[in-house]
């Protein structure tokens, strides 16, 4: 069953005498927080539980507050779960009370938490708190041939065989970093969610996601060293000492008088040396200063000479193209992601560019000649296809949008918002038949779409949307993005890329095979499938399973969709978008593989300009309303406000054109002009009246638009 989100913060109040009491779930009196979680006893009801035993039980969820019951689990719910588990026999120890079940479909294994640990089950302390038995647990796919020698665990430094097993895990971000599971778990408990990260590269997001998938519990708490009172207090002290050879201050080298010539300025590079402003002839505190050691390093590295070559010209004498357009970069040669990443670092800041600047530059291709697209919101995909396939359509023309309705007998047209049209088109594209997957999507294999050349059109639409100021895609998988940038031959797909449940189960069975006989059994069972995809191979050792699993992944995720990929890639070349992606992968990765940041009151307040507002009170109401929406005091969301005014639910990478604005009018209700990105606010006497009118208008306008486009949403 799906559980509501559980608050997994640890309760520090631990009653005395709990060490001798047995947990009502596993019936063990062990008190080992690293293995079973904190042990807690409710003396009133004479009930003792291990935190992990309670948390992972399949038939219970947290319905109370943290201080209620045990960790927020109500006593009556715990008793019901104990009663349910009493009817289930553990498949490990054969005793009753097995409250935890494997979540894999059709798997009926149940077990106690300690028994599950003994048989190397995986317990995921995130999401729905899933549990996997030893046959269905998630695995890490690594080709063992790359690691012939033993490598040290990067935590305890004890040498281990670099082959992923239950006890040995590899970092997802640093391929030469390996760990003991026990070492990782102890480190996670000590570091907490805010400090648990890869010991090599300090990555936290990717690292934590993978460790949670592999069953490492990362508690929501401060690191243990952060709980020490006044720890590292000395790091908060500023360096205040003049280190120049001849200090001219009569009060001494440690004298510091802010806002005067005797204020101490620290070295901008190391921060561990200082000077009085007057002692180094600095005119103001803002002027940069480096100590002798850092200055020598900078000179030897050539940084000073390089900086002289990039002196900015006067903006008065340079045209806009000279300011914003750099000399076209040669296309990077095709190479592996790792090699290209090193080359990017060697090239320096040239390749670390802001995505908005790159898209603005692409936008310089757009000419003033316009092309009107007639769009039916109820069938946005086909009407967009008709417009883009029109012989007179040119991607470089300025796009104008006119909304039409096929049910309108008079054939009337209504001016439409380009931003809204592109936003709706990208939403449809994300959920179309050319992509597959839930959140992170890959290309699908759809024979009808291939026959109608829809993969090419999808790439073309995406390119046009970006250049013409549309929203970012945000739904690409990392694998699909890497295929575009580095080539399919240099990309390694992962199990998460497989959306076909049956194929995923085959790969899981291969990865979890414990001997050659099990592996051959899988080969025999799916012989026809392996023959069809060209992955039949002679199994001679257990390590062959890694190669077999990799072959299936490569076929299913990459080779199977080779024709759609090439077609999609050709479409993405429209307006030079693909070339820019290959040149600046770091910049484009953020908008292709991640959704835009959540909107806030400050973001919207800064986004909408209102310098000519005559009514200061209305402006105050507007800012108060934004804060109320952010605080959840109204049913309206930040996205609703942006859609109401611009037609977009997020800010495009290149920003809006024209810039969103607000104005105050003597109107009964607010009005959103999506063509001009303008929001007209009503002038009211009280804030309550202002909020009611804003809520009513935005809510009902969006509801009506949704009903009108119901056909589009269903498809």
Same structural domain, 105 and 45: yes
Domain end residue (candidates: 595, 621, 655)? 595
672 and 654 share a domain? Answer: yes
Q: Do 75 and 100 reside in the same domain of the chain?
A: yes
Is 282 within the bounds of a domain? no
Residue 514, both tokens: 């414990």
Q: Does any domain span residue 247?
A: no
Q: Do 73 and 208 have their domain in common? A: no
Q: Within this chain, do residues 496 and 391 fall inside the same structural domain, yes or no?
A: yes
176 inside domain = yes
Confidence at residue 67, expressed as pLDDT on a 0 to 100 scale: 77
Residue ending a domain, choose from 569, 595, 621: 595
Q: Is residue 278 part of a domain?
A: no
Using CA atoms, how far residue 685 sits from 541, 619, 662, 699, in Å, is 80, 12, 18, 22
Tell me whether residue 246 is in a domain: no
DSSP string computed for 598-631: PP-HHHHHHHSB-TT-S-HHHHHHHHHHHHHHHT
The first and second tokens of residue 255, run together, are: 């004298």
Q: Which of 512, 472, 517, 550 is CA-nearest to residue 137?
A: 512
* pLDDT at residue 476 is higher than 90: yes
Same domain, 495 and 532: yes
Query: Which residue shows structure tokens 């047209």?
Result: 413
Chain-centroid distance, C-alpha 522: 35
Q: Rounded to an integer, what distance in angstroms lies between the CA atom of residue 2 and that of residue 648?
A: 33
Q: How far apart are CA 228 and CA 226, in angstroms?
A: 5
Which pLDDT score, from 0 to 100, does residue 100 have?
94
Q: Do both 406 and 513 map to the same domain?
A: yes
Do both 545 and 606 map to the same domain? no
Q: Which is more confident, 614 or 383?
A: 383
- For 298-327, what is the mean pLDDT? 37
Does 674 fall in a domain? Answer: yes
**One domain for residues 619 and 589:** no
**pLDDT of the residue at 174:** 79
Same domain, 572 and 493: yes
Sheet-wide strand order for 397-403: 367-375, 397-403, 414-416
Centroid of chain to Cα 128: 19
Contacts of 49 (CB under 8 A, 6+ apart): 23, 24, 25, 39, 40, 70, 78
Distances (CA, A) of 201 to 142, 173, 181, 378: 19, 8, 19, 49
pLDDT given at position 408: 62
Q: Are 492 and 558 in contact (CB under 8 A)?
A: no
Domain boundary residue among 192, 211, 226?
226
Residue 60's domain is classified under what CATH number?
A: 3.30.40.10
The reported pTM is 0.52
Instruction: Based on the fold, state whether residues 528 and 642 are members of the same structural domain.
Output: no
pLDDT attached to residue 317: 35
Residue 557 near residue 493 (C-beta atoms within 8 A): yes
pLDDT digits (tens, 9 = 90+) for 520-549: 999 899 999 999 999 888 888 998 899 999
Predicted confidence band at 298 (pLDDT cuts at 50, 70, 90)? low
User: pLDDT by residue (tens digit) across 587-618?
Assistant: 999 999 998 888 999 999 888 886 455 567 87
Is 360 within the bounds of a domain?
no
Domain tally, the chain: 4
Neighbour-count burial for 683-704, b at 16+ CB within 10 Å, e otherwise:
ebeeeeebbebbbebbeebbee
492 and 520 in a single domain? The answer is: yes
Closest CA to 49 of 57, 36, 39, 59: 39
Is 324 a domain residue? no
Domain range holding 222? 151-226
Contact 242, 276 (CB under 8 A): yes
């Amino acid at each position: 069953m799906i559980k509501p989100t559980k608050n997994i913060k640890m309760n520090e109040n631990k009653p005395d005498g709990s060490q001798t009491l047995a947990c009502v779930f596993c019936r063990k009196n062990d008190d080992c927080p690293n293995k079973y979680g904190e042990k807690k006893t409710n003396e009133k009801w004479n009930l003792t539980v291990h935190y992990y035993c309670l948390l992972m039980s399949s038939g219970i969820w947290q319905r109370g507050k943290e201080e209620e019951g045990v960790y927020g689990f109500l006593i009556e719910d715990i008793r019901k779960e104990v009663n349910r588990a009493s009817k289930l026999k553990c498949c490990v120890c054969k005793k009753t009370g097995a409250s935890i079940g494997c979540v894999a479909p059709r798997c009926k294994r149940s077990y106690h938490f300690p028994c599950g640990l003994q048989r190397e089950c995986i317990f995921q302390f995130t999401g729905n708190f899933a549990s996997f038995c030893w046959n269905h647990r998630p695995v890490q796919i690594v080709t063992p041939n790359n690691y012939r020698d033993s490598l040290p665990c990067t935590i305890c430094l004890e040498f281990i065989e670099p082959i992923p097993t239950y006890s040995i895990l590899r970092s997802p971000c640093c391929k030469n970093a390996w760990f003991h599971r026990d070492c990782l778990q102890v480190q996670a408990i000590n570091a907490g969610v805010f400090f648990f990260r890869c010991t090599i590269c300090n990555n936290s997001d990717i690292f934590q996601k993978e460790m949670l998938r592999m069953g490492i519990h990362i508690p929501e708490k401060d690191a243990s060293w952060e709980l020490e009172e006044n720890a590292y207090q000395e790091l908060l002290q500023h360096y205040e000492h003049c280190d120049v050879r001849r200090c001219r201050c009569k009060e001494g080298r440690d004298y510091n008088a802010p806002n005067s010539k005797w204020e101490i300025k620290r070295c901008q590079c190391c921060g561990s040396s200082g000077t009085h402003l007057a002692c180094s002839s600095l005119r103001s505190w803002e002027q940069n200063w480096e100590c002798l050691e850092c200055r020598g390093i900078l000179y030897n590295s050539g940084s000073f000479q390089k900086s002289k070559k990039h002196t900015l010209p006067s903006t008065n004498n340079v045209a806009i193209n000279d300011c914003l357009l750099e000399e076209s970069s040669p296309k990077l040669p095709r190479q592996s992601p790792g090699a290209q990443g090193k080359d990017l670092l060697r090239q320096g800041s040239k390749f670390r560019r802001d995505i908005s600047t790159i898209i603005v530059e692409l936008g310089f291709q757009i000419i003033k000649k316009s092309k009107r697209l007639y769009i039916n919101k109820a069938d946005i995909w086909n009407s967009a296809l008709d417009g883009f396939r029109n012989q007179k359509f040119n991607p470089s023309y300025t796009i104008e949008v006119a909304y039409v309705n096929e049910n309108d007998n008079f054939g009337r047209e209504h001016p439409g918002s380009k931003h809204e049209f592109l936003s709706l088109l990208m939403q449809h594209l994300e959920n179309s038949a050319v992509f597959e997957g839930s959140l992170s999507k890959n290309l699908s294999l759809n024979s009808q779409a291939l026959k109608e050349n829809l993969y090419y059109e999808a790439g073309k639409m995406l390119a046009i949307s970006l250049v013409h100021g549309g929203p970012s895609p945000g739904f690409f998988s990392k694998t699909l993005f890497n295929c575009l940038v580095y080539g399919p031959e240099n990309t390694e797909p992962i199990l998460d890329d497989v959306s076909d449940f049956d194929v995923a189960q085959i790969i899981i069975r291969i990865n979890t095979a414990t001997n050659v006989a099990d592996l051959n059994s899988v080969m025999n069972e799916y012989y026809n499938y392996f023959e069809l995809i060209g992955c039949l191979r002679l199994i001679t050792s257990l390590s062959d399973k890694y190669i077999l699993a990799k072959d299936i992944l490569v076929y299913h995720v990459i080779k199977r969709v080779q024709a759609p990929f090439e077609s999609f890639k050709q479409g993405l070349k429209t307006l030079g978008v693909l070339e820019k992606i290959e040149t600046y992968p770091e910049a484009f990765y953020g908008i292709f593989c991640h959704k835009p940041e959540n909107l806030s009151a400050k973001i919207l307040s800064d986004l909408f300009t209102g310098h000519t507002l005559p009514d200061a009170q209305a402006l105050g109401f507007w800012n108060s309303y934004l804060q109320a929406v952010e605080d959840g005091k109204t049913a309206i969301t930040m996205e609703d406000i942006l859609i109401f005014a611009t037609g977009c639910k997020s800010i495009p990478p290149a920003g809006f054109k024209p810039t969103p604005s607000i104005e105050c009018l003597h109107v009964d209700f607010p009005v959103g002009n999506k063509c001009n990105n303008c929001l007209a606010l009503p002038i009211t006497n009280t804030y309550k009246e202002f909020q009611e009118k804003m809520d009513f208008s935005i809510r009902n306008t969006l509801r009506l638009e949704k009903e009108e486009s119901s056909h589009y949403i269903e498809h």
